């Protein structure tokens, strides 16, 4: 199974997992994570490259998003280490309405 296939499996499984953590507290990120945090302000500067990007759109109040965060961090480390032309990023949908609407996330 390739890393991309593993990532797709993780994305599919994440929609079935729920959490009871604090709904509005930030989703914790592993300190060694390779996930780039994208915002309305930094999107153009960060994405302007020849790299390919995998984006996760999440909400702090979403239980599935909170449970998926550690797997996404692990996935990001493997992808960046094995496929350096692919970058992994995440976007907080509540804090970044312009990006959220640009990608038709509701």
The residues assigned a catalytic role are: 62, 65
Kindly list the distances between the CA atom of residue 65 and the CA atoms of 55, 70, 98, in Å, as whole numbers in the listed order: 13, 10, 20
- State the Cα torsion 68-105-49-45 to the nearest 10°: -100
Distance CA(86)–CA(57), nearest Å, equals 17
Q: Which 3 state secondary structure label does DSSP give 11?
A: helix
């Amino acid at each position: 199974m390739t890393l991309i296939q593993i990532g797709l499996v993780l994305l599919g499984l994440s929609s079935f997992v729920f959490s009871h953590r604090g709904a509005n507290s930030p989703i914790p990120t592993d300190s060694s994570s390779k996930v780039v945090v994208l915002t309305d302000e930094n999107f153009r500067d960060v994405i302007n490259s020849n790299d390919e990007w995998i984006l996760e759109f999440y909400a702090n109040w979403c239980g599935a998003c909170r449970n998926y965060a550690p797997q996404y961090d692990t996935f990001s480390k493997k992808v960046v280490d094995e496929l350096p032309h692919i970058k992994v990023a995440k976007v907080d949908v509540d804090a970044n309405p312009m990006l959220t609407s640009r990608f038709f996330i509701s």
